[in-house]
Amino acid sequence: MADGPSTIFLCSLEPWSDMWYSKHHYAAHLARENTVYFVSLPDKWRWTDLFSTGVKVRLTREGVRIVEYRNNLPLSALPGWLARSVELFNASKLRRLMPTGEVIFWCFHPISSLQELYLKDPRSRFIYHVVDPYQNLPNDRLFARRSDLVVTINQWYERYYSEVNPNCILIPHGVRTEDRFSDSSVVKDLQEQWGRYMILATGLNRFVNYELLLRIASRFKSIRLVIVGQIFPVDQTQKILRDELFQLPNVTYAGIKHPDELKNIIRGAFI
């Protein structure tokens, strides 16, 4: 790659919001010195998407350019050949954002819909950043094999992908430097508000053990359980358990918190 600032297309399954995952942290940090486009998948299809011919770009306070595009047809309802046509059209929409020079595509998932853009553009360099167990997905090995660099977060992933691509490195998850410091006055206010509390910061999805959380909150009634994170759809059994958890007097659901707020909540927690 050329010296100096780069143009980076960072691709994520999770959309941009105050619920930050590793890719959001990378995007915000890289945007300090580079042009960063954050691309996530379109949300639920609407009939107006039939007429979508381009992309929308908005700028965040961190300097990240959020890219929004639409599937012209609902991919899940299409035969393979037609879905591929929609994917190729999506790639052509995003290609209009690309500068004339070199581009880095930094992909956090092996989704097929944009691989035509990522893997076949001669000007681009491709990073496949494996943060979740994608080994059973059909495009995983293709992405790993054809990438210029595979980044892994644990030693098991490193061993696995090193056999597919020798350009493989290990970078474990970490914590931002600024998150190691907190606002003592804010922390004090939180402790006065919630007393002695423990925190769970997570996506509230089907992988959370709501029965265990109910047992913990019921057993340690003198300690408040503060839950921070995005609520996702779950099956009816899990929803009943989650609703029951939120109704306990010593449980507080604090919603989604930006990392700048979350660090103070974590600092004030007993557990």
Residue 236 confidence (pLDDT) above 90:
yes
SS3 label, residue 247 = helix
pLDDT in tens, 96-117: 888 877 889 899 988 765 565 5
Rounded Cα–Cα distance for residues 112 and 140 (Å): 10
User: Which of the four pLDDT bands, split at 50, 70 and 90, describes residue 235?
Assistant: very high
| 14 neighbors 110 (Cβ within 8 angstroms) | no
Rounded Cα–Cα distance for residues 147 and 106 (Å): 10
Residue 102 burial (CB count, 10 A): 15
pLDDT in tens, 31-82: 999 999 999 888 888 888 788 888 899 999 999 999 998 878 887 777 877 8
Answer with the residue of higher pLDDT: 198 or 69: 198
Which pLDDT score is estimated for 28?
95
| 47 neighbors 70 (Cβ within 8 angstroms) | no
Arithmetic mean of pLDDT, 87-92 = 80
Rounded Cα–Cα distance for residues 179 and 258 (Å): 11
Own/partner pairs, 169-173, CB within 8 angstroms, 24+ separation:
173/22, 173/131
The tokens for 182 are 């907190």
* Residues in Cβ contact with 50 at an 8 Å cutoff, skipping those fewer than 6 apart: 72, 73
Provide the mean pLDDT of the chain.
90
Q: How, if at all, do strands 197-201 and 224-228 pair?
A: parallel
Residue 232 confidence (pLDDT) above 90:
yes
For 57, the enclosing helix (H) or strand (E) is strand 56-59
pTM of the predicted model over 0.85: no
Region of residue 11 (left: phi > 0; alpha: psi -120 to 50; beta: else): beta
Residue 95 confidence (pLDDT) above 90:
no
Select, from the ranges 93-102, 142-151, 222-231, the one with the highest average predicted confidence (pLDDT): 222-231
Largest pairwise CA distance in the chain: 61
| 42 neighbors 72 (Cβ within 8 angstroms) | no
67 residue type, one letter: V
Rounded Cα–Cα distance for residues 87 and 96 (Å): 15
Which pLDDT score is estimated for 2?
54
Which pLDDT score is estimated for 224?
97
